[in-house]
Amino acid sequence: MKEKSDYGLVVADNETAARVALDKGNYISAFLLIHVLVESLLRAFLRNDNESHSFASLVSQYDQYLRQEDYPVPTFVDELKEFNRRRNRIVHQLWRKGYTLTNKWAKSPANAAVAMYGLFIEWLTTFDDELGEFGFRFDEK
């Protein structure tokens, strides 16, 4: 995995780009950037830099982690699966309905993704306080 300081710069850059995209009404870009950030957050948490592991694979690994910790509720697992399905729908709608209609539809999912990302950071830092050293700090300013 990249050094934490380098990783933090990439995370901060992507978080800023997501915030700017959301502010400008570019909901598709904001959603996709948040998806990348959530994937990066999962990779950092799981210490998994194997690029061949898909988002779905990372979610499965996260679910296994919770089970190993005897955590009674698979917190965020279903939300992450739905988040990935929504990303796939957005990508498919781009070629079916075009940018304008898809972007209009993506406003609510993009806003929900931002909220989920912030909550997921808070949740994962309860297990691993070193995650802050990777630079994950998204907030809605």
pLDDT digits (tens, 9 = 90+) for 20-75: 999 999 999 999 999 999 999 999 999 999 999 999 999 999 999 999 988 888 89
User: Would you place residue 3 in the very low, low, confident or very high pLDDT band (cuts 50, 70, 90)?
Assistant: low
Q: How far apart are CA 44 and CA 100, in angstroms?
A: 34
Select the more confidently predicted residue: 83 or 137.
83
Query: Mean pLDDT, the chain, as a whole number?
Result: 91
Identify whether the C-beta of residue 112 lies closer than 8 Å to the C-beta of residue 31: no
Burial state string for 20-36 with b = 16 or more CB within 10 A and e = fewer than 16: ebbeeebbbbbbbbbbb
Coil vs helix vs strand at 82: helix
Query: How many Cα atoms are found within 13 Å in the side-chain-facing hemisphere of 44?
Result: 29
Question: Residue with structure tokens 């498919």?
Answer: 92
User: Would you place residue 141 in the very low, low, confident or very high pLDDT band (cuts 50, 70, 90)?
Assistant: very low
Q: How far apart are CA 33 and CA 114, in angstroms?
A: 10
